[in-house]
Amino acid sequence: MRYPVRVLVGALLAVALLFVPSGVVHAADAEPWSGDWMMSFGMLKLKQDGTTLTGTYGNQGQFSIEGTVDGSKATFRYTEGNISSTGAWELQPSGHAFRGHLVMGNGGRKDWHGWRADPSAKKGKAKSKGLWLTSLGLMELKAKGKRAEGRFALRGGSTFSGDFSGRHLELQYQVLRGGQAWFDFAKDGKTFAGAASDHGASGWFGWEGRKADEYKRHAKLKPGKQVAGSTENLLTYQVHAPKGWRRGTKYPCILILHGSNMNSDAYVNTLAKAFPTLAERYIILGINGERPSHIGKPKARSGAPAKGSAPAFNYTYVNFVGKSTFKGFPGTDKESPALVSDAMTELAKVYGISRYFVGGHSQGGYLTYSLLMNYPEQIAGAFPIAGAVIFQCEPSAYDNAPLRAAQRATPLAIVHAKNDPVVGFGSSRYAHELFREEGWSAHRLFAPDQGAHMFARMPLVEVMAWLESVAGEDLELNLASAEASAAAKDWAHVLAVVAHAESRPDAAKFKHSITGLRGMAEQAAQAGAARFGPLVAANADPAWIDELLVYRESFAHAAAAADVMKAFEALRAEHDKGADAAYQAARNCFNQRDQDGGYAKYQEIVDQYYASRRYRSVKRWIAERK
Determine the 3-state secondary structure of 248 from DSSP: coil
Closest CA to 337 of 296, 294, 284, 382: 382
DSSP assignment of 88-126, as one string? Answer: EEEE-TTSSEEEEEEE-TTS-EEE--EE---GGGGSS--
d(CA 314, CA 220): 25
User: Half-sphere exposure (CA, 13 Å, Cβ side) for 326?
Assistant: 23
If phi > 0 it is left, if psi is from -120 to 50 it is alpha, else beta; for residue 35 that is left
Task: Give the strand pairing for 353-361 and 251-257.
Answer: parallel
For residues 418 and 449, the answer to whether their CB atoms sit within 8 Å is yes
Distance CA 237, CA 133 (A): 13
Q: For residue 543, what is the DSSP state?
A: G
- Residue 58 DSSP code: S
Cβ–Cβ < 8 Å for 554, 541 = no
**DSSP letter at 217?**
B
State the DSSP H helix or E strand holding residue 63, giving kind and residue range, or none if neither.
Answer: strand 63-70
**Dihedral sign for Cα atoms in the order 495, 501, 503, 507:** negative
Across the beta sheet with 283-287, what order do the strands follow?
A: 226-230, 236-240, 283-287, 251-257, 353-361, 379-385, 412-415, 443-446
95 Cβ contact partners less than 8 Å away, ≥ 6 residues apart = 26, 27, 29, 32, 118
DSSP letter assigned to residue 289: -
Distance CA 449, CA 452 (A): 9
Residue 385 pLDDT: 98
Cα 57 versus chain centre, distance: 38
Distance CA 265, CA 34 (A): 43
For residue 301, the model assigns a pLDDT of 59
Q: Which residues contact 178 (CB under 8 A, 6 or more apart)?
A: 172, 198, 199
Give the model's pLDDT for residue 4. 40
Q: Which residues pair with 99 in a beta bridge?
A: 90
User: Cα(173)–Cα(152) distance, rounded to whole angstroms?
Assistant: 9
Angle formed by the axes of helices 562-591 and 545-555, nearest 10°: 120
Length of the chain: 626
CB atoms within 10 A of CB 515: 12
Is residue 333 within 8 A of residue 323, CB to CB? The reply is no
Q: Is 208 left (phi over 0), alpha (psi -120 to 50) or beta?
A: beta
Separation between Cα atoms, residue 496 and residue 503, nearest integer Å: 11
Distance of CA 34 to the CA centre of its chain: 43
Burial class for 476, CB neighbours closer than 10 Å (0-12, 13-18, 19+) = exposed
Q: Nearest CA to 313 among 386, 376, 364, 242?
A: 364
User: For residue 373, what is the enclosing H or E element?
Assistant: helix 363-374
Nearest to 78 by CA among 69, 65, 89, 91: 65
How far apart (Å, rounded) are the C-alpha atoms in residues 156 and 393?
Answer: 22
Give per-10-residue mean pLDDT for the chain (626 aa): 35 33 43 92 91 87 89 90 88 92 85 93 91 97 95 93 96 91 94 94 92 95 97 98 94 98 97 97 98 87 71 97 94 95 98 97 98 98 98 96 96 98 97 93 96 97 97 93 96 95 94 96 96 95 96 95 97 96 97 97 97 95 90
CA distance 160 to 171: 7
From CA 381, how far away is CA 514, in angstroms rounded?
Answer: 21
In whole angstroms, what is the distance from residue 148 CA to residue 140 CA? Answer: 11
Interior CA angle at 12 toward 6 and 15, to 5°?
100
